[in-house]
């Protein structure tokens, strides 16, 4: 079927959408263990961006796993497909002119590499929320570590499934060392140039 899918040349492009909005668009991808602080920081970054009049959208486990990807499990193949679909949706959102934030464990280097390929390196900012597992487990925000230790969840990252740490993330945050406000300031400073339409 693919060979019969011929793209149409639409007259409105990303540059035109960008000039209406007055800011650049790209994807902020938060990776890290469950409970590391991805959603908390992504939420605070989004709030700071909206306060600046920037158009944003957050993709996270709740709005994606329960809808678009509700047919996927946590097996390695399904995790790969989960990330691929999220990256394709994020790509459309970035094309639409939104600063898109995505908070997913995304434990595999190959899958994160794939996101970067789908978006293009210029449109992808990788944020590694590198909170030690002991702290994530102590927080156990959703009670999932306790369940995983009790053998009630299989394929739980950090307990009985691997997390491949990013080798060269754009931003790295250890939430045992910095506050949410400090993390937001670091991220906003990093993306300042990308937000600017003159770049």
Residues that bind ligand ADP (CB under 6 A): 32, 34-41, 103, 129, 139, 141, 175, 178-180, 183
Catalytic residues, which ones? Answer: 106
Q: Which two tokens stand for residue 24?
A: 């650049």
**Over the chain, what HEC string results?**
CHHHCCCCCCCCCHHHHHHHHCCCCCEEEEECCCCCCHHHHHHHHHHHHHHCCCCEEEEEHHHHHCCCCCCCCCCHHHHHHHHHHHHHHHHHHHHCCCEEEEECCCCCHHHHHHHHHHHCHHHEEEEEECCCHHHHHHHCCCCHHHHHHCCCCCCCECCCECCCCCCCCCEEECCCCCCHHHHHHHHHHHHHHHHCCCC
The distance of closest approach from Cβ of residue 10 to ligand ADP in the complex, given in angstroms and rounded to an integer, is 36
The distance of closest approach from Cβ of residue 167 to ligand ADP in the complex, given in angstroms and rounded to an integer, is 20
The distance of closest approach from Cβ of residue 154 to ligand ADP in the complex, given in angstroms and rounded to an integer, is 19
The distance of closest approach from Cβ of residue 147 to ligand ADP in the complex, given in angstroms and rounded to an integer, is 14
């Amino acid at each position: 079927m693919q060979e019969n899918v011929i793209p149409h040349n639409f007259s409105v492009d990303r540059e035109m959408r960008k000039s209406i909005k007055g800011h650049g668009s790209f994807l902020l991808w938060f990776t890290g263990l469950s409970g590391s602080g991805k959603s908390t920081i992504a939420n605070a970054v989004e709030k700071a961006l909206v306060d600046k009049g920037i158009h944003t959208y957050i993709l996270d486990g709740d709005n994606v796993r329960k809808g678009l990807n509700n047919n996927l499990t946590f097996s390695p193949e399904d995790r790969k497909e989960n990330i691929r679909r999220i990256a394709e949706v994020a790509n459309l959102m970035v094309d639409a002119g939104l600063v898109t934030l995505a908070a997913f464990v995304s434990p595999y280097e190959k899958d994160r590499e794939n996101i970067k390929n789908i978006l293009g390196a210029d449109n992808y900012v990788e944020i590694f929320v590198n909170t030690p597992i002991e702290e994530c487990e102590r927080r156990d925000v959703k009670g999932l570590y306790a369940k995983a230790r009790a053998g009630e969840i299989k394929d739980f990252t950090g307990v009985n499934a691997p997390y491949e740490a990013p080798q060269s993330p754009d931003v790295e945050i250890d939430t045992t060392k910095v506050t949410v406000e400090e993390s937001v300031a670091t991220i906003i400073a990093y993306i300042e140039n990308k937000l600017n339409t003159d770049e």
